[in-house]
Chains A and B, each alone.
Chain A
Amino acid sequence: MVPCTAPLWVVAAYRFPGQVWHLELLAPRRALYVLCAQKGVYCLSLDHLSRSTSQDDGDSEDSELPSFVIPVGPDACILPDASLCAFTVLEDTLVTLVQGPTQWKMQLFERPCPGEDPQPGGQIGEVELSTYAPPAGVPGKPADPRFLPVLCCVSPPASRVPHGQLWGPGSFTLKEALFGLLFGADATLLESPVILCGLPDGQLCSVALKVLVTSRSAPGDPKALVKILHHLEEPVIFIGALRTEPQAEEAAEETLPGEDVHSDCLVALGPYGRTLAIKASWDEAGNLVPELREYCLPGPVLCAACGGGGRVYHSTPSDLCMVDLARGGAPLDPTQPDEGPGGLPPLLCPASLSICSVVTLAVLSRAPEGGTELLALSAKGRLMICSLDLNSEAPGLSPVSRANTGQKIKELLSGIGNVSERVSFLKKAVDQRNKALTSLNEAMNVSCALLSSREGPKPISCTTTVGWSRLQLQDVLMATCLLENRSAFCLGQGWTLCIQVLTSSSALDLDSAGSATTYTIPVGQLSPGSQREVTLPLGPGENGTFDLPVTVSCTLFYSLREVVGRALAPSDSFEDPCVDEDPPDVLPEQEGICLPLSRHTVDLLQSLRFPGLAPPCTQAPPLRGPADPVDAFLEACREPGSQPGSQPAGPASLRAAYLPPSVACIKVSAELLRAALDDSHSGVPLCCATLQWLLAENAAVDVVRARALSSVQGVAPDGADVHLIVREVAVTDLCPAGAIQVVEIQVESSSLADVCRAHHAIIGRMQTMVRQQAAQGSSPPDLRVQYLRQIHANHETLLREVQMLRDRLCVEDEASSCTTAQRLLQVYKQLRSPSLILL
């Protein structure tokens, strides 16, 4: 390898309005054609540039880096089309490939010139190639394709057009036999150039240019125009041609300057290393038959190039490899007549050139000694000229002249540079893999620990508590999730804590479904014994309401993609479409491990506030929700009609007068409660113990305990008063054995919704308690069945009446419906204070 020592100056830098997908330099016309993603084809004249810069050169002779960044504007765009995916330039035509809604379309344009002649030519021809499954993306805006199609132009050897002059760099000439075999007698007779097209779905197809004429008066039939040559079964990313036969007698004429080599082998490469080679050969009978071979090279392939002597160079992130398609040495079959061309080798052995991450590769003209020079651009941006001298493999010790010494040292230094780049790359890859393995191992340990501990406290837990705090002039109900790692393992990179907040559907609007919000918090590094706290708002929602109860579920998620994917992608230092961030087929469908931790329901009892209980010094201003429209209304109707003698009542008293609070009542047998609360609340009156139990998860429970309260006045999240009263009563007529001591829990609130929520919350606690008690096997006392039946019958009547009243409500006019509604409210009230007792 010889470093490029010639000094280079940046003459100009262009900035295009989008990602550059492909460019072709048409040297004889000094024009640069560039395909910009989602924009179209731009054409820049280099003549114009050199003229302008030569003046500058004169002025700033000694400035070492004259860098002008020239933004490329829309006026340089010669072919605007957002769906353009590939193009190639021929003598006077521009061939493009367009991604239609369901098909690839090849279009032919008269080649528009830059600069002096801005008038662009028209479309000459068009043909649809093949159907494909359109990639998922926003309709109208096609998704960024991972693999772009490849176009190249193949000309027949006899073509009258002097090839290599007005053709783009992506074109080559095939020998007659292969050309005729691949493209047919028509293209051969017409001496028509052929466009070869490799599609991301693996198709390799060809279109003869002279036949591709589809004006509106003669539509082309794709079946007749497009010939499918092969299906590679992976995207085609490179098409090239090379000469595998030694140049014998023609060699003399063919080395004439300006003449190019007529290739006898066509090569196509896929990103995962699948390689196709096609040659023409004669079978035993003398018939011309295609010889097709598929090989598998080490992938992923970043780029490739065909060189002289039947060699194909292809670059992977870890190496630059060379394979030889020419059959080395003597023909394998000695009986084969010498005029028959040699076949393709059955196997390819890639030879390493020890250069990693080359993203673009070009073979320079053959060096005189028989070696080859490659121009390569590495992922890190190094532009290298690699000179391969294939003949002198054992240099040996030869006397080195002094003149050579400098050169030798340079070569060695450059070699060291290459090796160190390669070493650093490999080291990085190994490190990443080690890290990923360690992480995976820890993840396994954590998962096992969590999943195997069925009883007792989990080694990793997440507890949720609720509290109020004031944010931006608004009281907000906050949930605090505390993730504790009591296991012996570390939660490292790749773990995330997912907290899902699921609101119940609003009680007032039965149709609306509850909403779910998921918060994802990366855990970062959580070593054994440490903990992490996450606080998130539960309400009020956007419309100022609270949809209680709210369920908070915590889950640990381990992302395989994040940890393993990065290690498998060999390099993350450059963006190339070939290198997938997460290679397919390696990762399973599931992208991670999901471990549920806890589930917590936040109800009204937890979110009640008790301003009356707070110490006077820290008492918050009276909590009122957003101005209650009812209060406002009452206030308003008081003013005009207020009698001089009437008492000056505030809205509260008015409310009390006009809107008696809703009440709900739950009765529980004292015995049951005592049994349940005994262990934690011994020595405390049962009423107080019950209230403490109910408010156990509320922040105010300490005050309630300290003052031994049995009734408490609180404020619901939406600002309504909620009054909880616990008292002991005796129920006589239920049990034949005598009176039963019963604890009555009464909920009172001006807001019916809050009564419901509180009732729901209390019932929820009761259910849990009863279930626990039932598990312990306590038996209820004897009951008077007759009495129970009576109560049940009463309820039935009430329910029937409800049904009837609701039916009436639908059909009645306003006046009578008012009374019906009132009656309905009454019945509901009766229903809410049942005579049934939880025993």
Chain B
Amino acid sequence: MSHQTPPDSSCLDLWREKNDQLVRQVKVAQDSGLSLRRQQLAQDALEGLRELLCSLQGLPAAVAVLPLELTVTCNFIILKTSVAQGFTEDQTQDIQRGLERVLETQEQLGPRLERGLMELWDSVLHASSLLLDLLPALHRLAGLQAALWLSTDHLRDLALLLQTLNGSQSGSSEDLLLHLKTWSPPAEESDAPLTLQDARGLRDVLLTAFTYRQGQLGSSGLIPSLSLHEAASGLCPRPVLVQVYTALGTCLRKMGNPQRALVYLVEALKGGSALGPPLLEASRLYQQLGDTAAELESLELLVEALSVTHSSEAPQLLIEVELLLPRLDPALPLHCGTQSQAKHLLASRCLQTGRAEDAAEHYLDLLALLLDGSEPRFAPPPSPPGPCMPEVFLEAAAALIQAGRAQDALTVCEELLSRTSFLLPKMSQLWKGARKGTKGLPHCPLWVSATHLLQGQAWVQLGAQKEAVSEFSWCLELLFRSTPEDKEQGAASNCEQGCKSEVALQQLQAAALISRGLEWVACGQDTKALQDFLLSVQMCPGNRDASIHLLQTLRRLDRRDEATALWWRLEAQTKLPQKDTTWSLPLYLETCLSWIRPSDHETLLEEFRTSVLEPRGL
């Protein structure tokens, strides 16, 4: 078998010519910006490669034809994978078929037993030491196998394969990166049939992808990540380099090495393409460094960058880094989200860092983008980590109040309520239910109550006490009907991601009670205020602000004994180890709580200390 004469050499030339022509067609497709034309060309080329492969594999395997056959196999797999945007079981079979064809020429195939892929590779690489012509094609196929295994997390097989490829017997199979680095595929002959992606290219992609994975694993990835730089610098195409630098930046930032991370991010930005990911990463870095101005500036640049480059970048018709990474991980530095996501990030950071005017402007821009943009590509943050649409409205309202634009905040709240009014329980029903008593109270989403709270705050700012109190009361009315989230259903249920916790509900109740209490105080109705503050302390015992407001009111009403008892409780609380209060409240709620924080509570407590302790001293 092995000494079979090749089928008519002109036939071989013909096949080769066909392969080259198809590869050229794919390159043309790659370059044509029109995505549909591209898709058609790629599909046609894929079909052509499939046919070519069929005719090649229809004949008995012959050594003279094998290099071409393996090249066609590789091209076919590469194109198929990139068109389908992922590896499937088919590709495994394609690779296996290729390996079996090699063994056929060596008469080593033996009985068709259940042979593992790794065993096949072993025997093929063993046999190929005799077939030097085959080596470049085999390394390319091995690169594809490695990519497949990396994407499916078969790291042990991958390490073994690389070890065999490198011919190294010793060394732990675990050190995958080292194996990847030492793997040097043989240079391709200049007159070889055309390929879509050569073995070195595949190796570079593998290196990058693998280092990403390492980098995601945490600080243990330091050394490998740094060595990646050397490994990739010379050969990486520019976009990959940008990705690598961004990944390195992420890695270094997570390891607490912000200065070096910055260097890499600057390098990445010099790359000129795909500015989104490095900019987002830079903003995270500046946030960690506490450089708010720089952070916001990078976010602004990010928004700008995303607004410009909305031409849909088509994926390359090659095996790319993204194909080898676990899918849908928004935390990956490769993804920077959409423009609206960036805008929201910018706005919320402004609000968090106390730049209320900027925040308000950005939120208004964002709302305009979301509501008026007829182009659907400006999407709200859809994934669970981001807040849902009602929360964006609430944050906008909070920012507007913070910026002193209460009237605008009211408009935003009204817009929110009017747009969702038909989702809410019918108010007449609500009252009927209240009159009848227990007969099934309607519940309503938390954000509806929160809207009323913010409306009340806006009225406070406008000095309209009556309206404010009525809004707070509304809010409380709705809140006391709020049932735990798991009982909720229908329209509102998917919108509670940010404030699902019982804690949020409690804090919202406390905030509403304190807000109303403060209004009573302002009207001079201290008894009513006292009631609200008392309730708020009961509802939310951990809320220190509520206790202090209560303390103040008690003192004002000259109820010394109760005040002293409360003060003792507060003292005891401060002495206790502080409970972990790292729950994350929705941003609008945080903002709202900051408005009702008692300003001079330290002096108040000090006064109490002296007044309480004095009589003892006597």
**Of B20-28, B201-209, B490-498, B540-548, which binds chain A?**
B490-498
**For the complex, what is the distance from the CA of A124 to the CA of B378, rounded to whole Å?**
11
The docked-state distance in angstroms from the alpha carbon of A93 to that of B88 is 30
Asked, given contacts A185-B495, A189-B416, whether A217 binds B276 with beta carbons under 8 Å apart, the answer is yes
A367 to chain B, nearest CB (A): 32
Asked if B426 and A186 sit within 8 Å, CB to CB, the answer is no
Minimum CB–CB distance for B381 against chain A, Å: 9
Chain A stretch 149-197: residues in CB contact (< 8 A) with chain B? 158, 160-161, 176-177, 180-181, 184-186, 188-192
A213 and B378 contacting across the interface, CB-CB below 8 Å:
yes
Q: Are B312 and A124 in contact (CB under 8 A)?
A: yes
Judged by a CB distance under 8 angstroms, whether B327 is at the interface is yes
Whether the pair A188, B423 counts as a contact (CB closer than 8 A) is yes
Known A185-B491, A287-B442; judge A101-B376 contact (CB<8 A). Answer: no
A290 lies within 8 A of B330 (CB): no
CB distance from B56 to the nearest CB of A (A): 16
Q: Are B429 and A285 in contact (CB under 8 A)?
A: yes
A282/B370 in contact, CB under 8 A: no
* B211 surroundings in chain A (CB, below 8 A): none
Judge whether A216 and B313 touch: CB under 8 Å. Answer: yes
B490 lies within 8 A of A120 (CB): no
Contact indicator B376/A213 (Cβ below 8 Å): yes
> A431 at the A/B interface (Cβ < 8 Å)?
no
Q: Is the CB of B313 within 8 A of A189?
A: no
**B491 contacts A180, CB within 8 Å?**
yes
Q: How does the 8 Å CB contact mask read for B436-469 relative to A, with 1 for contact and 0 for none?
A: 0001111101000000000000000000000000
B426 near A286 with CB under 8 A, answer: yes
Interface-lining segment among A218-226, A538-546, A594-602, A615-623: A218-226
How many angstroms from the CA of A729 to the CA of B240 in the assembled complex? 97
Which of A102, A180, A215, A288 contacts B338, CB < 8 Å?
A215
Task: Specify the chain A residue showing the minimal Cβ separation from B377.
Answer: A213
B336 adjacent to A186 (CB under 8 Å): no
Q: Is A675 on the interface with B (CB-CB < 8 A)?
A: no
Contact B491 A284 (CB under 8 A): no
Residues from 484 to 543 in B contacting A, C-beta threshold 8 Å? 489-492, 494-495
Supposing A190-B371, A211-B380 touch, asked if A180 and B312 sit within 8 A by C-beta, the answer is: no
| Interface check A100, CB cutoff 8 A | yes
Within the complex, the shortest CB–CB distance from B125 to chain A, in Å, comes to 28
Q: Judge whether A80 and B90 touch: CB under 8 Å.
A: no
Q: How far is the CB of A83 from chain B (nearest CB, A)?
A: 10
* Closest residue of A by beta carbon distance from B341: A218
A216 with B90: in contact, given A120-B36, A288-B491 (CB under 8 Å)? no
CB distance from A746 to the nearest CB of B (A): 43
**A81 CA to B83 CA, complexed, in Å:** 11
Q: Establish whether residues B43 and A124, one from each chain, have CB atoms under 8 Å apart when the complex forms.
A: no
Q: Mark A224-249, 1 if CB is under 8 A from B, else 0.
A: 11010000000000000000000000
**Contact of B490 (CB < 8 Å), options: A81, A119, A287:** A287
Measured between C-beta atoms, what is the minimum distance from A180 to chain B in Å? 4
Task: Check B376 against A184 for contact (C-beta < 8 Å).
Answer: no
Complex CA distance for A225 and B376, rounded to whole angstroms: 14
Contact residues in B for A46 (Cβ distance below 8 Å): none
Q: Is the CB of B383 within 8 A of A224?
A: yes
Is B338 in contact with A218, judged by CB distance below 8 angstroms?
A: yes
- The interface residues of chain A, by DSSP majority, are classed as loop
Rounded to whole angstroms, the CA-CA distance of A285 and B425 in the bound complex is 8
Q: CB distance A225 to B88 under 8 Å?
A: no
Residues of the A chain whose Cβ atoms lie less than 8 Å from the Cβ of B576: none
C-alpha gap A140/B93 in the complex (Å): 13
- With the chains together, A119 CA to B420 CA distance in Å? 40
In Å, the complex CA distance between A521 and B306 comes to 71
Q: CB of A79 within 8 A of chain B?
A: yes
Which residues of chain B are within 8 angstroms of A180 by Cβ–Cβ distance?
420, 422-423, 491
Please tell me if A480 contacts chain B, counting CB pairs below 8 Å.
no
A287 close to B443 (CB less than 8 A): yes
CA distance A339 to B443 in the complex (A): 19
Q: Is A273 an interface residue (CB 8 A)?
A: no
Q: Does B40 contact A (CB under 8 A)?
A: yes
- A190 near B389 (CB under 8 angstroms)? yes
The tally of residues in B whose CB lies under 8 Å from a CB in A reads 72
A210 with B276, Cβ < 8 A, contacts A81-B39, A285-B442 known: no
- Total chain A interface residues with beta-carbon distance under 8 A: 63
Task: Digitize B323-345: 1 where CB-to-A-CB distance is under 8 Å, 0 elsewhere.
Answer: 00001101000111110010000
**Smallest distance from the beta carbon of B309 to chain A beta carbons, Å?**
9
B382 near A211: Cβ-Cβ < 8 Å: yes
Which residues does chain A contribute within 8 Å of B84, judged by CB atoms?
100-101
Q: Is A122 an interface residue (CB 8 A)?
A: yes
Q: B residues within 8 A CB of A323? A: none
Please tell me which one of the listed residues B39, B442, B492 contacts residue A286 in the complex, with CB atoms under 8 A apart.
B442
Q: How far does the Cβ of B209 sit from chain A's closest Cβ, in whole Å?
A: 15
Interface centre among B50, B277, B388 (most CB of A within 10 A): B388
Tell me the smallest distance from the CB of A120 to a CB of chain B, in Å. 4
A564 within 8 A of B: no
**Distance between Cα atoms of A189 and B393 in the complex (Å):** 10
A224 to B495, CA, bound (A): 11
Instruction: For A81, list chain B residues within 8 Å (CB).
Output: 39, 43
Of chain A, the residue at the smallest CB distance from B43 is A80
- Which B residues lie within 8 Å of A184 (CB)? 491, 494-495
Q: B380 and A186: CB pair below 8 A? A: yes
CB of B430 closer than 8 Å to a CB of A: yes
> Which chain A residue shows the least CB distance to B274?
A217
- B90 contacts across to A, CB distance below 8 A: 101, 139
Residue of B whose beta carbon sits closest to that of A182: B491
**What CA separation (Å) do A339 and B427 show in the bound complex?**
12
Give Cα A170–Cα B396 distance, bound, in whole angstroms: 37
Interface: A551 (CB within 8 A)? no
Judged by a CB distance under 8 angstroms, whether A209 is at the interface is yes
| Chain B neighbourhood of A112, CB < 8 A | 36
From B322, B341, B428, B491, name the one whose CB has the most chain A CB atoms within 10 angstroms.
B491
**In the assembled complex, B224 has its CB within 8 A of some CB on chain A:** no
Let me know if B311 is at the binding interface, CB within 8 A: yes
Verify if A289 is at the interface (C-beta below 8 Å from B): yes
Taking CB atoms, residues of chain B closer than 8 Å to A212 are 376, 379
Task: Check: B48 CB closer than 8 A to any chain A CB.
Answer: no
Shortest beta-carbon distance, A834 to chain B, in Å?
A: 39
Residue contact B312 to A215, C-beta cutoff 8 Å? yes
* Separation of A287 and B276 alpha carbons in the complex (Å): 44
A290 to B490 CA separation, bound complex (whole angstroms)? 7
Cα A290 to Cα B436 in complex, Å, equals: 24
Nearest CB in chain B: distance from A545 CB, A: 24
| 10 sample A-B contacts, Cβ–Cβ < 8 Å, listed by A number | A101-B84, A123-B314, A190-B389, A213-B377, A216-B312, A218-B335, A285-B433, A286-B425, A288-B424, A288-B425
Q: Which residues of B contact A (CB under 8 A)?
A: 34-37, 39-40, 43, 50, 84, 88-90, 274, 276-277, 306, 310-315, 322, 327-328, 330, 334-338, 341, 370-371, 374, 376-380, 382-384, 388-390, 393, 416, 419-420, 422-426, 428-430, 432-433, 439-443, 445, 489-492, 494-495
Q: Which 6 residue pairs of A and B lie closest in terms of their CB atoms, listed nearest first? A: A286-B429, A285-B440, A120-B36, A213-B379, A122-B35, A286-B442
Q: What would 19 more interface pairs be, CB under 8 Å, given A211-B379, A213-B379, A220-B382?
A: A78-B36, A81-B43, A160-B374, A184-B491, A185-B423, A185-B495, A188-B419, A188-B423, A189-B389, A189-B419, A217-B276, A217-B306, A218-B335, A218-B379, A219-B328, A285-B440, A286-B426, A288-B423, A339-B428
